[in-house]
Amino acid sequence: MPVRPDAGRRRFVVFGGLAAAGLTGCGFALRKAPAMRFRSIALTGFERGSLLADELRRQLVAPVQIVATPGSAEVVLQALADRRERSVVASTAAAQVRELQLRVRFDFRASTPAGRELIPRTELMLSRDLSFREDIALAKELEEAELVRGMVSDIAGQVLRRLSALVL
């Protein structure tokens, strides 16, 4: 029996359709921004040009307004420490760096403008390991920046999930 040239493509479409149908029945959905129970927030204590403050502003969605003054906000998110750390984990006998560990730490607390504590002092820390080679240092520098941006985005998401659980 001769094989038709489009039989492979037809099988791919059929199996692809079955896989898509299976995902719709399992409850799979892309992660959405958490729903907040407040309408305004003030971000305080962040340094000018903070990656984390920019990411929080980007991830906070429409019903929540970011206000400049803490007195006019329902929630005040105070950054106590926002640090990036880089340490050498492994090196060669010739003292050449082979592996780095990148860390992003964020200490924060949340309160009302009147001072009632909503989230006590909390520290979030993420770390990633990065192999390093001197002959491709520029590429590794770009990879490091991308890893840090990813960690900052993850921490911003964790902060927003904690804020979404607040009961005012």
9 within some domain: no
- Using one digit for the tens of pLDDT, what is the confidence trace for 50-78? 999 999 999 998 889 999 999 999 999 99
Q: What pLDDT does residue 114 have?
A: 95
21 within some domain: no
Q: How far apart are CA 45 and CA 127, in angstroms?
A: 23
Q: What pLDDT does residue 23 have?
A: 60
13 within some domain: no
Q: How far apart are CA 7 and CA 106, in angstroms?
A: 55
The pLDDT of residue 1 is above 90: no
Give 83's pLDDT tier (boundaries 50, 70, 90). Answer: very high
Q: What is the CATH number of the domain that holds 139?
A: 3.30.160.150
Q: What pLDDT does residue 6 have?
A: 64
Length of the chain: 168
| 164 in Cβ contact with 36 (< 8 Å) | yes
158 within some domain: yes
Enclosing domain of residue 64: 33-164
The pLDDT of residue 4 is above 80: no
54 within some domain: yes
Q: What pLDDT does residue 33 have?
A: 72
22 within some domain: no
In whole numbers, what is the pLDDT of the chain averaged over residues? 88
Higher per-residue confidence, 13 vs 125: 125
- Using one digit for the tens of pLDDT, what is the confidence trace for 9-31? 666 666 666 566 666 667 777 77
Q: How far apart are CA 121 and CA 132, in angstroms?
A: 35
Give 165's pLDDT tier (boundaries 50, 70, 90). Answer: very high
Question: Read out DSSP for 97-160?
Answer: EEEEEEEEEEEEEEE-TT--EEEEEEEEEEEEEEE--GGGHHHHHHHHHHHHHHHHHHHHHHHH
Tally the domains of the chain.
1
Identify the bridge partners of residue 38 per DSSP, sorted by sequence position.
Answer: none
Q: How far apart are CA 168 and CA 145, in angstroms?
A: 37
Give 136's pLDDT tier (boundaries 50, 70, 90). Answer: very high
Q: How far apart are CA 102 and CA 85, in angstroms?
A: 6
Q: What pLDDT does residue 10 have?
A: 66
10 within some domain: no
Q: What pLDDT does residue 46 have?
A: 96
79 within some domain: yes
